[in-house]
Homo-oligomer: A and B are copies of this chain.
Amino acid sequence: MLSAARHGTRCILFGPEADVRAALTGGEAHSVDIVDCVTSITNDEEPARAARAKPDASIVRAAKLVGEGEADALVSAGPTGAVLAASLLNIKRLPGVHRPAIALLLPLPAGQILFLDAGANVEVRPHHLVQFAYMGAAFSESVLGVERPRVGLLSVGEEPGKGTPDVVEAHSRLADGKLSFAGNVEGDRLTSGEYDVVVTDGFTGNVALKVMEGTVRVVGAAVRDAARSGPLSMLGGLLLRPALRGVRERLDPETVGGAYLLGLRRPVVICHGSSRARAIENAVALADRGVRERVVERTGDALAAGSALRGGREPDGEEIPPGLVRQR
């Protein structure tokens, strides 16, 4: 983050001032502002309730400042649920957006994909999936620099008629829309590198990500076991170890990429709770890029061009999706 500040991004840090100061070198301390917050929201709290009940929590104060326009974007390594709840209450939804979604960037070997919804909305309707697709594509294009991102819809068969009735209807609307829509994606093609953005509901999305995580763990353990199964294998494992190091972490959705809240009035980036300096710095750089590339405006434009905006009265931005699931 401090390096980000050095690159010209003005950073405001929210947290216990003494602790924050202690972590800074003298030169760094001059390049950031610190807002002293002694309260925070933990992983154990119910996010929506805590975000309302704790106006002094660091994440709430930070989101408020962004919501008031005093800062342009929010970056946090706090619990995803707390960041989402604080952002919904204080930054609010982009006009015309039904529900924000959590998008996860998965840097797979075959190419990175933006995967959403990773768990903000356990139940969705076709128009939600359609909005997720436009929001994901706008993010991919503006922040990740992908030209005409290929958008896939997670389902149980490639044919347009496969899936739940809601998925089938979303497919039909997307096929008639303005995106570079690549059709249904089956689970085994998720990791194939053929798509830039893959859209699903938050229940299936969460299960898919966690199954991926568990499978990587099990395969890694099996490879380790194989490397212990005899003297020659053991030597092989030793020789191979440097190259294997990192394979698991590179493929683990819990340790890679970042989470982005799409559909809010300002860019919001969530880093993994165990993020080190470089991950935070990357997150700040992405948020900065989101501001400079006007991701929020472009998301609104893309939704409007695709006739995917919510009609009628604008949402008040205070409703928090039920069953918010993704805690990190």
Query: Which residues does A use to contact B, with CB under 8 Å?
Result: 108-110, 119, 122-123, 154-157, 161-165, 167, 186-192, 200, 202-204, 206-223, 225-227, 229-230, 232-233, 235-244, 247-248, 250-251, 323, 325-327
**Interchain CA distance A218-B155 in the complex, whole Å:** 20
Some 11 contacts from A to B, beta carbons below 8 A apart, are: A108-B218, A123-B165, A187-B210, A203-B204, A207-B207, A211-B212, A215-B215, A223-B247, A227-B240, A227-B243, A233-B239
**A223–chain B nearest beta-carbon distance, Å:** 6
**Interchain CA distance A47-B192 in the complex, whole Å:** 28
Is A211 within 8 A of B203, CB to CB? no
As for how many copies of this chain the complex holds, the number is 2
- Residues of B contacting A202 with CB < 8 Å? 156
The one of B189, B203, B208, B221 that contacts A109, using a Cβ cutoff of 8 Å? B221
The one of B187, B208, B323 that contacts A162, using a Cβ cutoff of 8 Å? B323
Is A243 within 8 A of B219, CB to CB? no
Considering the complex, give the chain B residue whose CB is closest to the CB of A159.
B325
Considering the complex, give the chain B residue whose CB is closest to the CB of A239.
B236
Considering the complex, give the chain B residue whose CB is closest to the CB of A233.
B243
Is A188 within 8 A of B203, CB to CB? no
> Which of A119, A237, A326 has the most CB atoms of chain B within a 10 A radius of its CB?
A237
**A55–chain B nearest beta-carbon distance, Å:** 26
Is B242 within 8 A of A213, CB to CB? no
Enumerate the 6 nearest inter-chain pairs by beta-carbon distance, A residue then B residue, closest first: A236-B239, A187-B210, A236-B240, A188-B214, A226-B243, A187-B211
- Residues of B contacting A248 with CB < 8 Å? 219
